[in-house]
């Protein structure tokens, strides 16, 4: 019982930490596990209870909800995006070519972009070859792959220029030029019927497609196109990025992003092979689009986005663990140096005893970091590292007290005898 009380004293007493430096090995081992695990709690609790598709219902989602609802009403979505099943689950079978939804050759990507076309989709092919892809993409990132894609620009015409009073058409370095094509683009949708996330270099291919087609990055590494919110559908994945409606070439950094695994979106629910995703989401047309979007599409997107979201959660856990372990190791090195100083009262301290001290110092910062983590995960990491090092700083006065307070005990032998 007395030993337990002494260990509890280390939460607030630096002297108790020094006195406990010779504890049995399992005590610092238990403390280390606690110090490592406690900051995980807010990250894991938030991660496993979070809405992985909150972006689709958020007020500040730049109207992507309107874009998706418009897409769900289109004929190509109702009848051509079918649900099929393989050994790993359900995937999308986008048979657009069979339904003749592609635009005639005389129509262009730019005309679809500007909303000139009268049909739903533009058909294109992206061949990711050196010399064809964006010149901003290094040759070692070229995938040498090509896939057909279908494109729909979803938006509405507007009689007023977007934020006309803020428009800038000057060429001065400080000016910002905004797009004015007479319409608000809610969402650009790209469908890749043959592309799977399991294909070789699929992620790099999509990144290159984004550079070369969506943004049209030039040799000067600047975007030629104005960035809009976009969604990319593959056989088994959905990628989405959100950009402001007021589009500027200067800003290619998205304000929100989503990544989903379509096979997980169904979450084990049975689905008739060959049915359309539209029928699945609207329950065979019994639910209106707005209701189907808020309920079924949202649930589908949540389940589909869960694997990627939890992956990021565990990455944050790893980052927290590295921060805690790193701060303990830095504190250990500092304590070894402090304990070995000539004026130290504890020069007989071994390196593993300094490690024990550093571990014992970490428990209180871990508790503080856990509490702060429920409000801000980033500050939690900083709090743990700073608090551990602060305790090391304050313990210096006990290990190496000032000369005037230390008496002869801190003086060299010849001085102590004088």
The answer to the question of residue 291 being in a domain is no
The answer to the question of residue 348 being in a domain is yes
**Domain co-membership, 337 together with 209:** no
The answer to the question of residue 111 being in a domain is yes
**Domain co-membership, 22 together with 120:** no
191-229 pLDDT, tens digit per residue, is: 999 999 999 999 999 999 999 999 998 888 888 888 899
121-161 pLDDT, tens digit per residue, is: 888 999 999 888 888 899 899 999 999 999 999 888 775 54
Q: Are 156 and 67 in contact (CB under 8 A)?
A: no
Q: Is 0.75 topped by the overall pTM?
A: yes
Domain end (from 220, 254, 288): 254
CA separation for the pair 343, 350 (Å, rounded): 16
Q: Which residues contact 195 (CB under 8 A, 6 or more apart)?
A: 147, 202, 205, 206, 234, 235
The answer to the question of residue 58 being in a domain is no
> Maximum distance among all alpha carbons in the chain?
104
Range of the domain at 375: 2-47+315-413
**Residue 39: is it exposed, middle or buried by C-beta count within 10 angstroms (0-12/13-18/19+)?**
buried
User: What is the tally of structural domains in the chain?
Assistant: 2
| Residue closest to 265 by CA, chosen among 48, 47, 52 | 52
Residue stretches of the chain with pLDDT short of 50: 161-173, 413-415, 417-418
Share of residues in the chain with pLDDT > 70 (%): 89
Q: Are 410 and 345 in contact (CB under 8 A)?
A: yes
82-124 pLDDT, tens digit per residue, is: 898 887 788 999 988 777 776 666 677 787 877 777 667 888 9
């Amino acid at each position: 019982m007395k030993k337990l009380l002494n260990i509890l004293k280390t939460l607030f007493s630096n002297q108790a930490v020094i006195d406990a430096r010779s504890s049995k090995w399992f005590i610092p081992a238990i403390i280390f596990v606690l110090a490592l695990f406690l900051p995980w709690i807010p990250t894991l609790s938030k991660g496993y209870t979070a809405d992985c598709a909150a972006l689709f219902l958020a007020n500040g989602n730049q109207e992507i909800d309107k874009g998706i609802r418009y897409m769900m009403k289109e004929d190509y979505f109702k009848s051509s995006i079918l649900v099929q099943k393989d050994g790993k689950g359900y995937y999308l079978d986008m048979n657009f070519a069979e339904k003749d939804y592609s635009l005639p050759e005389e129509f262009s990507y730019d005309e679809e972009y500007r909303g000139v076309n009268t049909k739903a989709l533009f058909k294109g092919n992206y061949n990711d070859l050196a010399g064809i892809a964006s010149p901003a993409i290094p040759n070692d990132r070229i995938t040498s792959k090509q896939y057909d894609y279908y494109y729909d620009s979803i938006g509405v015409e507007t009689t007023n220029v977007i934020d006309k009073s803020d428009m800038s058409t000057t060429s001065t370095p400080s000016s910002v030029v905004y797009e004015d094509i007479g319409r608000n683009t809610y969402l650009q949708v790209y469908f890749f019927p043959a592309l799977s996330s399991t294909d070789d270099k699929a992620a790099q291919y999509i990144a290159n497609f984004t550079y070369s087609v969506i943004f049209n990055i030039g040799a000067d590494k600047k975007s030629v196109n104005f960035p809009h919110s976009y969604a990319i559908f593959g056989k088994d994945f959905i990628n989405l990025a959100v950009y402001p409606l007021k589009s500027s070439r200067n800003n290619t950094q998205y304000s929100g992003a989503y990544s989903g695994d379509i096979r997980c979106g169904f979450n084990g629910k049975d689905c008739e092979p060959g049915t359309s995703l539209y029928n699945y989401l609207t329950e065979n047309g019994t639910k209106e689009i707005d209701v189907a979007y808020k309920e079924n599409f949202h649930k589908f997107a949540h389940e589909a986005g869960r694997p990627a979201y939890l992956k990021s959660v565990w990455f944050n856990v790893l980052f927290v663990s590295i921060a805690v372990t790193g701060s303990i190791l830095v504190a250990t090195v500092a304590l070894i140096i402090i304990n070995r100083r000539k004026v130290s009262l504890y020069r007989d301290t071994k390196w593993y005893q300094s490690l024990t001290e550093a571990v014992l110092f970490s428990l209180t910062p871990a508790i503080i970091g856990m509490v702060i983590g429920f409000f801000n995960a980033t500050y939690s990491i900083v709090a743990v590292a700073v608090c551990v090092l602060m305790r090391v700083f304050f313990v210096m006065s006990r290990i190496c007290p000032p000369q005037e307070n230390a008496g002869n005990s801190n003086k060299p032998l010849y001085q102590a005898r004088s």
